[in-house]
Structure 1
Amino acid sequence: MTKPKILLQFDSDTHASVFDAVVAIDAGVDQLLQYGGIELTQVRDLTHGAMFTRGPQDLHQTAIFIGGSNVTRGEELLAAVKDCFFGPMRVSVLLDANGANTTAAAAVIAAARHLNLAETTATVLAATGPVGQRVARLLAGQGASVKLASRSVDRAADVCETIRKKLPQANLAALQTSNSSEVQSAIAGSQLVIAAGAAGVELMSHENLNAANSLKVAIDLNAVPPVGIAGIDAGDKAADRAGVICYGAFGVGGTKMKIHRAAIQQLFTANSLVLDAEEIFSLGQQLQ
């Protein structure tokens, strides 16, 4: 008899995400066990409970999803979960805290529909945020030259160093974008710009967009007015705006949701999967 698919939802927020719970159910999970406000000290006992209640032959029917709005804490939770595994005693685990991995994957996949990323120079605005860091990492992994833009050039440089530890060959540059002139300099010579800033913060003006002569694709991941790139509508999906192919947050969101559901379904194909940014991006590419 086939065991039911059980998903444990580890969430660093006080209340486990309803959004992530609905997606899990829509992805075919039979039983969802939610844990909000989870602390690192609680991870071992919860994970062991998932590992030791089924035999190795049935562990692929149990999995862990790590969410919450704090991506750094999500990464810590992932490391703590992985530390619990040994030999065949393990379950598959997916990290998508704050939707950072699935959103970044969807954005890069959208860009790749129109550009050869290995021959692309890209600017990532708000590149030090959780989504921006993953966008930059995925672009660099595809061979793009990536300019990481932030209000703090020191923070951007720190992110560059973090990415280089994973991708020593990455072609990265840290830039400061604290005013319109610096934004214009940051996007000069780029064929791609992706804005990954906080909700309701404009990162790039109409004037910046209109003056970007080399720009071919612009993607804005903020849906809350004012949007991150002025002139892009949240619903844009490959919309041509003055010769620039534009995507808004909702235009990318459909792909993000497909990836999110597929990633949860993938968890139950084996008991040894760890789905982080690169694995989620690869899965998204297979859905195209």
Structure 2
Amino acid sequence: MALPRIVHMITPLKHMSPFDVNMALDAGYDDAIPYTNVTIEDVYGLVQDAIFSRSPDGIKRTAMFIGGKRAIEALDMMDKAKKAMVPPFEISVFADPAGSFTTAAAMVACAKKALKENFKTDLKGKRVVVFGGTGVVAFASAVIATTDGAKAVLVGYDGPERVRRLTMEANDRFDVDLGYADGTTEEQKAELAREADLVFSAGPAGRQILSLDQIKQSKDLKVAADVNAVPPLGVEGVGIKDKGTPIEGTNAVGIGALAIGDVKYKTESGLFKEMIQAEKPVYLDFRAAYSLAQDLTS
């Protein structure tokens, strides 16, 4: 009788996300075991407990998922997990804090597809202005876009200092060159939108980030993507179901939350399945998510 497929799901938060538990089980795991309030120092011991309880062949049916709400913290946990492996006792690990890596990957991949289909171009050299810049989805999408050749700017909403620190952290960690800006006022947001080739709205749910009037001021804008599915939507003029739909009064197209969410769902499910099917351990983060999201949108 085959051993059950188990994914150990760790988070530094009080609760593991029910969304991620459902995704893991629907992807094919038999059991999804949550561990909450986990610190980075806890990870090493948890991994070694998991890897030594099965034979090298049986360990292929074991994996780990890392949640939480901070990208850097999740990646630090993944690094700690890697150091705990003792080949051939080694398991696959997938990090997706707050669903941010798969959501960000889906948003950037959808935007890239819209650029290709509507403007016969790609992300290389494009100025991507990312609103909600102190949030984890904005952070991840800016890093992903930059790794694909874009010039991304993270926009905060409570002064420049917090978003500056996050930008410096990203630049140091991933060897990228993100910019940052303060978007506290409507005037600041309008000025940033005017300079954009693409805008990504990844701010708090139920909060409009950009008005249609602000969008119309940008002569070079090609794509506006919004991950907010709770009214009022993040970008006025971009519908929740839009999938490269022209934005009224502009030359740009919009991508709505449900279009992005469909790709996000398939990406997260696909990465869980990749761990199930892998003959050798895999380590999956925003880079793996973006690779798969591009395949799904090509």
Tell me if both proteins adopt one fold, taking TM over 0.5 as the criterion: yes
Deviations 1:100-133 (A, max 9, x none): 1000000000011022001321111122211111
Match of 1:283 among 289, 292, 295: 292
Give the distance between the partners of 1:210 and 1:237, measured in 2 at CA.
Answer: 19
- Aligned-pair CA distance for 1:281: 0.9
Match of 1:210 among 198, 211, 216: 216
- Aligned-pair CA distance for 1:39: 3.9
- Aligned-pair CA distance for 1:195: 0.8
Matches within 5 A, 1:179-258: 179-242=185-248, 243-258=251-266
User: Which piece of structure 1 moves more, 137-146 or 46-55?
Assistant: 46-55
Give the distance between the partners of 1:153 and 1:179, measured in 2 at CA.
Answer: 12
Question: Is the CA contact 1:63–1:271 (under 8 Å) kept in the aligned structure 2?
Answer: no
Deviations 1:72-123 (A, max 9, x none): 5534433432332233322111111110100000000001102200132111
- Aligned-pair CA distance for 1:66: 1.2
Q: What corresponds to 1:67 in structure 2?
A: 67
Match of 2:145 among 139, 147, 150: 139
Give the distance between the partners of 1:270 and 1:276, measured in 2 at CA.
Answer: 18
- 1:176 correspondence with 2:170: no
Taking a change above 3 Å as real, the CA distance of residues 3 and 48 of structure 1, as seen in their structure-2 partners, is: same
Q: What corresponds to 1:261 in structure 2?
A: 269
- Aligned-pair CA distance for 1:15: 3.0
Q: What corresponds to 2:169 in structure 1?
A: 162
Letter paired with 1:282 = S
User: Which piece of structure 1 moves more, 121-130 or 68-77?
Assistant: 68-77
Question: Is the CA contact 1:92–1:270 (under 8 Å) kept in the aligned structure 2?
Answer: no
- Aligned-pair CA distance for 1:69: 4.0
Identity of aligned residues (%): 29
Deviations 1:142-175 (A, max 9, x none): 001112211232333323322322444x443221
Q: What corresponds to 2:283 in structure 1?
A: 274
Give the distance between the partners of 1:171 and 1:51, measured in 2 at CA.
Answer: 38
Matches within 5 A, 1:29-40: 29-40=29-40
Taking a change above 3 Å as real, the CA distance of residues 167 and 67 of structure 1, as seen in their structure-2 partners, is: closer
User: Which piece of structure 1 moves more, 146-155 or 24-33?
Assistant: 146-155
Give the distance between the partners of 1:222 and 1:124, measured in 2 at CA.
Answer: 13
Deviations 1:172-194 (A, max 9, x none): 32211111111111122321000
User: Which piece of structure 1 moves more, 117-126 or 81-90?
Assistant: 81-90
Tell me the secondary structure at the aligned position of residue 56 of structure 1.
Answer: coil
- Aligned-pair CA distance for 1:283: 2.2
User: Which piece of structure 1 moves more, 29-38 or 86-95?
Assistant: 29-38
- Aligned-pair CA distance for 1:137: 0.4
Letter paired with 1:252 = I
- Number of residue pairs matched by the alignment: 287
Give the distance between the partners of 2:72 and 2:126, measured in 1 at CA.
Answer: 29
Give the distance between the partners of 1:287 and 1:249, measured in 2 at CA.
Answer: 16
Give the distance between the partners of 1:13 and 1:56, measured in 2 at CA.
Answer: 31
Q: CA RMSD in A?
A: 2.1
Give the distance between the partners of 1:112 and 1:256, measured in 2 at CA.
Answer: 15
- 1:125 correspondence with 2:134: no
Letter paired with 1:142 = D
Question: Is the CA contact 1:144–1:171 (under 8 Å) kept in the aligned structure 2?
Answer: no
Taking a change above 3 Å as real, the CA distance of residues 279 and 173 of structure 1, as seen in their structure-2 partners, is: same
